[in-house]
Amino acid sequence: MSEDSPSPPTRFGSGWISGVLSVLLSGLGLGAVLCIQNWDLLTMIEAREHYARYLPVLRGVVHVVLVTGFLLGVVSVTLRQWKYLGLAGCCLVFVAALLGGSQVELADRPGKPFYLGLDYFLLSLIGTAAIFVPMERLFGRREQPIFRSGWKTDLSYFFISTLAVQISTLLTMKPAMVFFAWAQFESVQSFVRSLPWVLQFFLIMLSTDIVQYWVHRVFHMVPWLWKFHAVHHSTDAMDWLAGSRLHIVEQVVVRALSFLPVFILGFAEPPMIAYVIFITFHATFIHANVRWDYGPFRWLLATPKFHHWHHAIEREAIDKNFAVHFPLLDLLFGTFYLPDQWPSGYGVHDKVPRGWLRQLFYPFLPAKTSLAEGTPTVQVHE
Ligand SMILES: [Zn+2]
Ligand SMILES: [Zn+2]
């Protein structure tokens, strides 16, 4: 490695892997310490009693994570010419230690009804990364680094949307409760609840996907709504994190409208919980850099390739594949597009700025450039 080399090495033995793991583990450990210290503000109400029950175990895990993060930081600093990763990891552990480390005191305050889901962010990140990072390494569609272009923007979306889990759940459910209580009929709901859970699960998927299909299509068709949705399409690399890039306005509108049939039909709780778990996985999966294609079943349930074509730069793929779950909806409404090959690239021809904050304001600002003048956030991979 010469001194004027443009980018630091990332190969095994260069201290990069230990540095990244150090920052990751130390950050997770510090986050957990903050959660324990400020449990009344930074953890989900529903989860607090579970955390209290397993607190000694949690403290043990946090201790191991922080010590490992620190040791990996030292390894990285020793191996690497560029010390910032290892030093950052060690600094995070130092801050966690100043707060009390794994033995940090629990705040002696009554639990607050409003919270930020820092615990939800940490658990979601660990869970999703643990499933999808190995999946993309083993079954990836194309060679792509974990830290590809735009990953910080997408992680910001992931962080903010999980942190705001309480307010986003409220905004999802409240409009239906306020404006559509008249549409709930006990006879209909008790019939729906009497159906087998598997059938209820399927009906939740179908009803939400029909609504979601049309809301998605309208976001593509109406120019001022498209600016919100263009943010989602602005990612030029597809992976497990890319699906997080959703403008807050779009996220609230799509979720609130998709919740309507669920609210009116009044499904039982177990299939609802199963659906929430399923959509969390499936919405991530269809964006993932994974080549799985379930053969003849690819018509039944959306595959990564099906949704990757929705993000494709090819002209023939524009305004195709709106469904999240059922490709048959696109077949039915004439928007299905699924050739054998994969798209040549992803992105959008609008000049969407980079970064969470600038993308937040982008739909509200007047268009400065036309499609022809703009630098499209399109990237061709092949
Ligand atoms: Zn779209
Ligand atoms: Zn998408």
Ligand of minimum distance to the alpha carbon of 304: 2
C-alpha of residue 373 to centroid of ligand 1, in Å: 22
Ligand of minimum distance to the alpha carbon of 287: 2
Per-residue pLDDT tens digits for 315-370: 999 999 999 999 999 999 999 999 999 999 999 988 899 999 999 999 998 875 43
CA-nearest of 69, 74, 77 to 21 is 69
C-alpha of residue 15 to centroid of ligand 2, in Å: 34
Question: Taking residues 301-308, what's their average pLDDT?
Answer: 96
Ligand of minimum distance to the alpha carbon of 322: 1
Ligand of minimum distance to the alpha carbon of 216: 1
DSSP for 157-216? HHHHHHHTHHHHHHHHHHHHHHHSGGG--HHHHHHHHHS-HHHHHHHHHHHHHHHHHHHH
C-alpha of residue 302 to centroid of ligand 1, in Å: 14
Phi-psi region of 12 (alpha: psi -120 to 50; beta: other; left: phi over 0): beta
Cβ–Cβ under 8 Å, residues 115 and 163: no
Ligand of minimum distance to the alpha carbon of 242: 2
54, pLDDT greater than 90: yes
372, pLDDT greater than 70: no
The pair of structure tokens assigned to 111 is 């639990």
C-alpha of residue 139 to centroid of ligand 1, in Å: 25
Per-residue pLDDT tens digits for 58-70: 999 999 999 999 9
C-alpha of residue 245 to centroid of ligand 1, in Å: 12
Percent of the chain with pLDDT over 90: 78
C-alpha of residue 231 to centroid of ligand 1, in Å: 10
C-alpha of residue 304 to centroid of ligand 1, in Å: 14
C-alpha of residue 311 to centroid of ligand 2, in Å: 6
pLDDT at residue 380, rounded to an integer: 52
149, pLDDT greater than 90: no
C-alpha of residue 231 to centroid of ligand 2, in Å: 10
C-alpha of residue 340 to centroid of ligand 2, in Å: 19
Ligand of minimum distance to the alpha carbon of 346: 2
C-alpha of residue 284 to centroid of ligand 2, in Å: 9
Question: Taking residues 35-64, what's their average pLDDT?
Answer: 93
Ligand of minimum distance to the alpha carbon of 230: 1
57, amino acid identity: V
User: Quick one: pLDDT band at residue 13, thresholds 50, 70, 90?
Assistant: low
345 pairs with which residues across the strands? 380
The pair of structure tokens assigned to 242 is 């890319």
Per-residue pLDDT tens digits for 180-209: 999 999 999 999 999 999 999 999 999 999
C-alpha of residue 287 to centroid of ligand 2, in Å: 6
Per-residue pLDDT tens digits for 88-122: 999 999 999 999 999 998 877 887 889 999 999 99
Per-residue pLDDT tens digits for 15-30: 788 999 999 999 999 9
Residue 273's Cβ-side half-sphere holds a number of Cα atoms within 13 Å equal to: 3
Top-confidence residue, 377 or 140: 140
Top-confidence residue, 376 or 293: 293
C-alpha of residue 66 to centroid of ligand 1, in Å: 40
C-alpha of residue 24 to centroid of ligand 2, in Å: 26
Cβ–Cβ under 8 Å, residues 350 and 371: yes
230, pLDDT greater than 90: yes
Per-residue pLDDT tens digits for 269-302: 999 999 999 999 999 999 999 998 888 888 899 9
Ligand of minimum distance to the alpha carbon of 307: 2
